[in-house]
A and B are shown apart, each in its own frame.
Chain A
Amino acid sequence: MAVARTRCVAIVGVSGHVIEVECHISNGLPGLHLIGLLDTALNEARDRVRSAVMNSKYGWPDSRITISLFPASLPKRGSQFDLAIAVSLLGAANVIPIERIAEPFFLGELGLDGRLRPVRGILPAVAAAGDAGATKVVVPAANAEEAALVPGVTVLPVGDLRTLVEWLRGPDHDRVPPPGLFGPSADPDDAPPAAAQNGQATASVPDLARPAPDLRDVAGQPLARKALEVCAAGGHNLWMLGPPGTGKTMLAERLPSLLPPLSLDHALEVTAIHSIAGTLPAGRPLLDRAPFVNPHHTATVAAIVGGGTGVPRPGAVSLAHRGVLFLDEAPEFPMAVLDSLRQPLESGTVTVARASGSVTFPARFMLVMAANPCPCAEASDACQCTPTIRRRYLARLSGPLLDRIDVKVAVARSTRTELLADRRFAEPSAVVAERVLAARERAAKRLAPTPWRVNSELPASALHGEFRPSPAAMKPLTTCLDNGALSARGLDRIVRVAWTLADLAAKDQPEVEETSAALAMWLGVGA
Chain B
Amino acid sequence: MAAKDKLGKDGEQLAVEYLQAGGMQVLDRNWRCREGEIDVVARDGGTLVIVEVKTRSGHSHGSALEAVDRGKLARLRALAGRWLSEWQGERFDSVRIDVIGLEKVGRTFAIRHERGVI
Q: Which residues from chain A sit less than 8 Å from chain B, CB to CB?
A: 27-31, 62
Contact = CB atoms under 8 A, between A and B. Distances in A.
14 contacts: A27-B114, A28-B114, A29-B66, A29-B68, A29-B73, A29-B99, A29-B117, A30-B63, A30-B65, A30-B66, A62-B63, A62-B65, A62-B66, A62-B112
A524 to B, nearest CB: 70
Interface in B5-37: none
B77 to A, nearest CB: 14
Contacts of A62: 63, 65-66, 112
Interface in B55-104: 63, 65-66, 68, 73, 99
Nearest to B114: A29
Label chain B's interface by main secondary structure: mixed
Contacts of B99: 29
Label chain A's interface by main secondary structure: loop
Interface of B: 63, 65-66, 68, 73, 99, 112, 114, 117
B72 to A, nearest CB: 10
Nearest to A63: B65
A325 to B, nearest CB: 51
B66 A28 contact: no
B63 A28 contact: no
Contacts of A29: 65-66, 68, 73, 99, 114, 117
A28 B117 CA distance: 7
Nearest to A61: B63
Contacts of A27: 114
- 9 closest A-B pairs by CB: A62-B63, A30-B66, A29-B117, A30-B65, A29-B114, A29-B65, A29-B68, A30-B63, A29-B99
A62 B66 CA distance: 7
Contacts of B114: 27-29
Contacts of A31: 66
Given A29-B65, A29-B114, A30-B63, 11 more contacts: A27-B114, A28-B117, A29-B68, A29-B73, A29-B117, A30-B65, A30-B66, A31-B66, A62-B63, A62-B65, A62-B66
Contacts of B117: 28-29
B105 to A, nearest CB: 14
Nearest to B70: A31
Contacts of A30: 63, 65-66
A31 B117 CA distance: 12
A30 B72 CA distance: 14
Contacts of B112: 62
Contacts of B63: 30, 62
Contacts of B65: 29-30, 62
Nearest to B65: A30
A27 B113 CA distance: 10
Most chain-B Cβ atoms within 10 A of its Cβ — which of A27, A28, A29, A30? A29
A34 to B, nearest CB: 15
A28 B113 CA distance: 9
B58 to A, nearest CB: 13
A218 B84 CA distance: 90
A62 B117 CA distance: 15
A27 B66 CA distance: 13
Nearest to B118: A29
B24 to A, nearest CB: 19
A523 B65 CA distance: 79
Contacts of B68: 29
A30 B73 CA distance: 13
A515 to B, nearest CB: 77
A186 to B, nearest CB: 29
A30 B54 CA distance: 13
